[in-house]
A and B are shown apart, each in its own frame.
Chain A
Amino acid sequence: GAGVSQSPRYKVAKRGQDVALRCDPISGHVSLFWYQQALGQGPEFLTYFQNEAQLDKSGLPSDRFFAERPEGSVSTLKIQRTQQEDSAVYLCASSRIPGTGGTEAFFGQGTRLTVV
């Protein structure tokens, strides 16, 4: 597609529910990243995929967070047993070549998750 697409745009979950957030990167982009943005702060790294391989998941805040990219294209970020502190905007980004050095990353519109 022309840009990075995320769905849903907004999600309200009751505490304890599981949620799944989808990211459709720019066609042909090798790298895919997930970031979490709390209100009033800059985005913070969660995890990185190179094609289907998850090469870095050091930013995932707990084992309730899980991400996959099984065919090296669309990615899903899953949060199990959501808690109020999970409320944030979740941003997906993609770039043409592996990693972040020497290449521009493009971001989707984000999914705003509110846990009530």
Chain B
Amino acid sequence: GIQVEQSPPDLILQEGANSTLRCNFSDSVNNLQWFHQNPWGQLINLFYIPSGTKQNGRLSATTVATERYSLLYISSSQTTDSGVYFCAVASKETSGSRLTFGEGTQLTVNP
């Protein structure tokens, strides 16, 4: 099945810093989503972005489908940005029924 790799696995920032999270995937996709999992376990939708670029406030994302990677940018980070960020994809060939998740990036923003 499709493989998803996220980097870095852990990231520690000072409040106000910028960061870039990366998601590499091994096959063509027709779905790519970025999620933020808060301390209570809820997966919050950040972006649905199988291709192209989107922005939402301090967050933006870019997916280069032909090169099989996606980037999530966080600018002017805040302590509330802390948590785990997941990338999840559905393979164009075998999608049908599932999203495949990466292992996540654990982000800690210190005041």
Contacts and interface: CB of A to CB of B under 8 A. Distances in A.
A43 B101 contact: yes
Interface in B51-107: 86, 88, 90, 92, 95-104
Interface residues of A, number: 26
Contact of A89 (B41, B86, B96, B98): B41
B96 A42 contact: no
Nearest to B44: A107
Among A48, A102, A112, find the residue whose CB has the most chain B CB atoms closer than 10 A.
A102
Contact of B101 (A42, A48, A104, A110): A42
Contacts of B43: 43, 91, 107, 110
A109 B43 CA distance: 7
A99 B48 contact: no
Contacts of B101: 42-44
Give the size range of B's interface with the partner.
Answer: 20 to 34
Contacts of B41: 37, 89, 109-110, 112
A100 interface: yes
B95 A99 contact: yes
The 8 A-B pairs with the shortest beta carbon distances in the complex, nearest first, are A42-B101, A48-B97, A56-B97, A101-B30, A100-B90, A45-B98, A107-B43, A104-B48
18 contacts: A33-B99, A41-B103, A42-B88, A43-B101, A45-B97, A45-B99, A56-B98, A99-B95, A99-B97, A101-B31, A101-B92, A102-B30, A104-B31, A104-B33, A104-B48, A105-B33, A110-B42, A112-B41
Interface of A: 33, 37, 41-45, 48, 55-56, 59, 89, 91, 93, 99-107, 109-110, 112
